[in-house]
Amino acid sequence: MEKITSNQNRRVKAWTKLKTKHGRDNANQYLLEGWHLVSEAIKAEQPIVTIITTQARLNADGAAFADQYECVVVTDEVAKHIADTKTPQGIFAVVTISASDQVAANYARGGWLLLDQIQDPGNIGTMVRTADAMGLQGVVFGAGTASQYAPKVSRAMQGSQFHVQIAEADLVEWVNEYHEQGLPVYGTELNPNAVALNTVNAQPNFALIMGNEGNGMQSALLAMTDDNIFIPMKGNAESLNVAVAAGIVMFHLQK
């Protein structure tokens, strides 16, 4: 088993680059950090190339992975250098970005959540986890939405990215596919034509578009929705966090 003690090691430099989009694109790989994410990836049989671990983590959890994958032991200092977090757990996985990670628009069946220029990793993670909990088929990351492979986004999804289908794609293509199949597409832009959530029937097949935290949905997508939904509120709050709103709507549509 290889052991690395220097931050200047060529493999350490390559792994560190996976924290950037350019590095991920060049290597066609991404980095998972933390035991929960790594263990979820193992359970989901993700294409793990290498597991990077400290000796302490290997001693604690090595039985779950040491015989299945290439393992490299690093010092605590190297682990901190690779990590995207302030208090790393001493384990990482290098995972191949494979073509099977992407789902085509003609796969549009069941409930799908479409993310339109969502930027905050916490919001993305909450929505993907909620989609997983609500039994949706998958989530589409549209243009302008933070990448599913970005470290903060992958951590925020907490393994739910391995339980639902994920695509990074053109949302217009997905909406067109739903229209061709006669399936409903819902937006969440508050406007004079919006309908109350409690007037919309639950659906086995639907697309729900959630727009950017500050600017809402793009006008081109807004024009393509069958209905725009608003959530009736009894209190005095002007609006809801996008992830909270998405959870309420997904729960209603999946009943």
> pLDDT for 78-99, tens place per residue?
999 999 999 999 999 999 998 6
| CATH number listed for the domain at residues 102-253 | 3.40.1280.10
What proportion of the chain, given as a percentage, has pLDDT over 70? 96
Confidence bin at 25 (pLDDT 50/70/90): very high
What is the Cα–Cα distance from 21 to 35, expressed in whole angstroms? 23
Which of 52-66, 101-115, 188-202 ranks highest by mean pLDDT? 52-66
Please report the pLDDT score of residue 201 as a whole number. 92
Closest to 4 measured CA to CA, from 15, 68, 38: 15
- pLDDT above 90 coverage of the chain, percent: 79
Tokens, residue 66:
């040491």
Considering the entire predicted model, what is its pTM? 0.91
pLDDT exceeds 70 at position 107 = no
Of 144, 156, 158, which is closest to residue 218 (Cα–Cα)? 144
**What is the secondary structure of the chain as a DSSP string?**
-EEE--TTSHHHHHHHHTTSHHHHHHHTEEEEESHHHHHHHHHTT--EEEEEE-HHHHHHHGGGTTTTSEEEEE-HHHHHHH-SSSS--SEEEEEE--GGG---GGG--SEEEEESS---HHHHHHHHHHHHHTT-SEEEE-TTSPPTTSHHHHHHHTTGGGTSEEEE--HHHHHHHHHHTT--EEE---STT-EEGGGSPP-SSEEEEE-BTTTBS-HHHHTT-SEEEE---SSS-S---HHHHHHHHHHHHT-
Q: How far apart are CA 62 and CA 115, in angstroms?
A: 37
Q: Where are the domains of the chain?
A: 2-100, 102-253
Token pair of 179, please? 């229209």
Average pLDDT of the segment spanning 134-155: 95
**Counting every residue, how long is the chain?**
255
Tell me if the domain spanning 2-100 has CATH number 3.30.1330.30: yes
Specify the pLDDT at position 189: 83
Beta bridge partners, 230, equal 196
What integer is the mean pLDDT of 13-21? 97
User: What's the confidence (pLDDT) of residue 19?
Assistant: 96
| pLDDT band, residue 105 (cuts 50/70/90) | low
pLDDT at 161: 96
**Is the per-residue pLDDT at 100 higher than 60?**
no
pLDDT at 226 (0 to 100):
92
- pLDDT > 90? residue 236: no
- What pLDDT, on the 0 to 100 scale, is given for residue 106? 67
Report the chain's mean pLDDT, rounded to a whole number. Answer: 93
Sequence-distant (6+) residues with CB within 8 A of 117 are 142, 143, 144, 145, 211, 212, 215, 218
